Amino acid sequence: MTTISRDEVAHLARLARLAVTEDELDKFAGQLDVILQSVARVGQVAEQDIPPTSHALPITNVFRADMVRPGLTQEQALSGAPAAEEGRFRVPRILDEEA
């Protein structure tokens, strides 16, 4: 089994822009090594005859079926709006960019 070095931990910390002390380098190297060994062990257990799954139990769609229902007309939807323009809600501009 390969172990992760202090230099590799320091490199990862630099990439993540984390300030890590010298003591933390040793601590994190040991912890990351345990994590990598655990992942490798799981990879050995996952055999070819076991299909990949996303959930331990089978799940089904729990949503209700879509049903078409009558809705508001454009005029009805805009009737309560404080401002409307060209069949749409008019809202204040929030960006200074030209449209």
Residue 85, beta-bridge partner list: 88
pLDDT per position as a tens digit, 42-83: 777 766 777 777 788 887 877 888 899 999 999 999 999 999
Q: Which residue segment(s) compose the domain that 16 sits in? A: 6-43
How wide is the angle at C-alpha 38 spanned by C-alphas 33 and 39, nearest 5°?
A: 100
Q: What is the pLDDT of residue 13?
A: 94
pLDDT, one tens digit per residue, over 4-47 is 889 999 999 999 999 999 999 999 999 999 998 888 887 777 66
Whether pLDDT at 96 is above 90? no
Cα separation, 62 vs 24, in Å, equals 46
Give domain status of residue 85, yes or no: no
Tell me the CATH number at 34: 1.10.20.60
Residue 88 lies in a domain: no
How far apart CA 78 and CA 84 sit, in angstroms, is 7
Residue 48 falls within a domain, yes or no?
no
Do 3 and 30 meet the contact criterion of CB atoms below 8 Å apart? no
54 in a domain, yes or no?
no
Our count of domains for the chain comes to 1
pLDDT bracket for residue 98 (50, 70, 90): low
80 within a domain of the structure (yes/no): no
Looking at residue 71, what is its pLDDT? Answer: 94
Threshold 0.75, pTM exceeds: no
Residue 56 in domain: no
